[in-house]
Amino acid sequence: MTLPNPWSLTISEAHRLLVNKELSAVELTESVIERIKHTDSKINSFITITEESALESAANADSIISKGEASMLTGIPFQAKDNICTTGINTTCASKMLENFRPNYDATAITKLKSEGAVLLGKGNLDEFAMGSSTENSVFFPTKNPHDLSAVPGGSSGGPAASVSAEQCLFSIGSDTGGSVRQPASFCGVVGLKPTYGRVSRFGLVAFASSLDQIGPLTKNVEDSAFVLEAISGNDPKDSTSNTEDVPNYSKYLNDDIKGLKIGVPKEYFVDEMDSAVASTVRSSIKILEELGADISEVSLPHTSYALAVYYIIAPAEASSNLSRYDGVKFGYSHSESTDIWDALEKTRQHGFGPEVKRRILLGTYALSSGYYDAYYLKAQKVRSLIRQDFVNVFKDVDILIAPSTPTVAFPLGEKTSDPVQMYLNDIFTIPANIAGIPAISIPAGLIKNMPIGVQLMGSHHSEKMLLKTAHAYETAANHGFLKPSI
């Protein structure tokens, strides 16, 4: 029997071959590295490739497998977004401020993956400090969509989404603050999951907006998402917001039986700005779930229209606070040609941060400043509570919500870079889940003019089992499989 190209495998397919000794972890990793070398000059997914250490990790994984001690992720090559700390490997946040920063510790998510025997291939490109929706704000280079090299991959986890789409890794992990896993997953035709806030430790994730940030997986299918989520979840004493819920065996619940499941369709998510073809695709997805036996009903989340404004007050305010640590003194970029300490601080931040990061620091500092705190930040926090309560109320009547992931398919590179507001509107459907702290997943719903589009499912806090089960049932019934790009 002729084996498929190892780089084209899913996690479960690769695991089966590895434990049956039909493929070694070193062979799998070598295949994926060759795939990266063949494709990454076109898409620019990776900032750093760690070939040597990856092959060492793969050899160690083979040793574990030979002893019969393999987990589902042992020997599986993955990429990590470059705002997730990795020992001795540059963690740049795609910023001049941290272009030479090498942490001396791993993020908890990385530690957990390494303990499973997963193989780190390198670090993925992103919008600087995860601030953006197109991965055009990276100080290094923009990443391109594998389905159309003239289009964006989404952001801020554009590198990880593009890398999974182009099959340069078997999975990746990104961060989602306002949709930064789900929006690029939709644009690139992969599965992107934002877990419940606190489900995955944020320790070692370079902070953007601490009350919104969450690490999540990007994978080729829903089953793989379940495997990765299980591996990276769990309580962590190093993260005070980490929750103590037991970690289920998520993949065990993927039985596709959703008869009687109550699915709500929030009417506020079908806005005029949404592409009509996207709306039609979502309606078709709802029909598929209805045919599987789910009970569909229209519901209302009345404060949804305020979510974007709330996010762009709270997130920049938290960013303003979090990014104050980059002063050129303790670590990171430091401007050398200065007259005194205050001049050095000013010039370090002037030259170390890009325009979008500076824009958000200014917005956040203004919202927190004396005389404006009550008018903006405090009011945004109050409206945030109303948005959260909307979800609490609606989940009394339904089990899952279905909505678009994005209002359009991937847009051309450069189209929105001069108009920040148009760029921000790309996150209009993903932001509410972050504000409420609930889990949400984007799964491929097909192609529109040969470009992928995703549909989003949202659940109540800690409902990942039901969310993954519903997503898997939809994925199986839709039967379009992994949306392979032609690259």
Residue 287 within any structural domain of the chain:
no
Asked if residue 38 is part of any domain, the answer here is yes
Helices (H), 105-172: 108-115, 158-165
Cα 314 to the center of its chain, rounded Å? 20
User: Are the beta carbons of 382 and 375 closer than 8 angstroms?
Assistant: no
Which one of 180, 225, 242, 285 is the catalytic residue?
180
Active-site pick, 71, 81, 233, 442? 81
3-state secondary structure of 135: coil
Helical pair 25-43 and 11-19, crossing angle rounded to 10 deg: 150
Token pair of 314 as six digits: 């709270």
Q: For residues 452 and 408, what is the distance between their CA atoms, to the nearest angstrom? A: 10
Q: Indicate the pairing of strand 262-266 with strand 295-299.
A: parallel
| Predicted local confidence at residue 80, as pLDDT | 99
Q: What is the pLDDT of residue 339?
A: 81
156 carries an active-site annotation: yes
Say if 384 falls within a structural domain: no
Six-digit token string for 46: 């990776």
Do 325 and 293 meet the contact criterion of CB atoms below 8 Å apart?
no
Burial class of residue 425 (count of CB atoms within 10 Å of its CB; 0-12, 13-18, 19+)? middle
What pLDDT shows up at residue 295? Answer: 98
Domain membership of residue 207 (yes or no) is yes
Provide block-wise average pLDDT over 10 residues at a time, the chain (487 residues).
84 98 98 98 98 98 97 98 98 97 97 98 98 98 98 98 98 98 98 98 98 98 98 98 96 96 97 91 98 98 97 98 92 86 90 97 96 95 98 98 98 95 93 98 97 98 98 96 89
Q: Is residue 39 assigned to a domain?
A: yes
358 is a catalytic site residue: no
| R_g of the chain, CA atoms, integer Å | 21
Residue 300 is among the residues annotated as catalytic for this protein: no
Residue 201 to residue 63: CA distance in whole angstroms: 29
Position 355 in a domain: no
**Which listed residue (138, 156, 233, 251) is catalytic?**
156
Residue 48 is assigned to a structural domain of this protein: yes
Dihedrals phi, psi of 41, to nearest 5 degrees: -65, -20
Say whether the peptide bond before residue 156 is cis (omega within 30 degrees of 0).
Answer: yes
CATH of the domain at 150: 3.90.1300.10
The per-residue pLDDT for 472 is: 98
User: What is the span of the domain harbouring residue 247?
Assistant: 6-260+440-478
Q: Give the residues across from 235 on adjacent strands.
A: none
Do the beta carbons of residue 349 and residue 359 sit within 8 Å? no
* Residue 314 forms part of a structural domain: no
Within 10 A of 308 (CB to CB), how many other CB atoms are there? Answer: 18
pLDDT at 459: 98
Provide the domain count of the chain.
Answer: 1
